[in-house]
Amino acid sequence: MSANVPAQRCDRIEPGRAELPSISVAVPRPKAPITALTGLFLVALLGGWLIAAPFVLGDQARGALWTTATRTDVATGAAIAGIAILGLFGYLAAAITWLARYGR
């Protein structure tokens, strides 16, 4: 078996993968749309205000059945605040994912 194995013809030791220099890919990091993110945060705050408005302003009596206006305010405010917060967290998650993959 040993006769079939070719002899070492070169004394040079090839470098391993760990010895090679790390390759850094140029990644132009774009600027974050701060104004748009601030606007989305404001929309979330307005949604929260819409939920609290009937109770803060005293239009909804405590313990009484909710009026149509109160139900509309609370439902629409919750939907708007939820969508805005989801959008903000989605933006954050997507940005962090991109940075973890390409940002160095």
Rg (CA), the chain: 30
Estimate to the nearest angstrom the gap between the alpha carbon of 86 and the chain centroid: 9
**Whole-number Å distance between alpha carbons of 59 and 33:** 38
Q: Is 7 in the site for another protein (CB under 8 A)?
A: yes
For position 61 contacting another protein by CB under 8 A, the verdict is: no
Q: Are 77 and 49 in contact (CB under 8 A)?
A: yes
Would you tell me which residues interact with another protein (CB under 8 A)? 7, 9-10, 12, 14-17, 19-21, 23-28, 30, 33, 35-37, 39-40, 42-43, 46-47, 49-50, 53-54, 57, 59, 67-70, 72-73, 76, 79-80, 83-84, 86-88, 90-92, 94-95, 97-98, 101-102
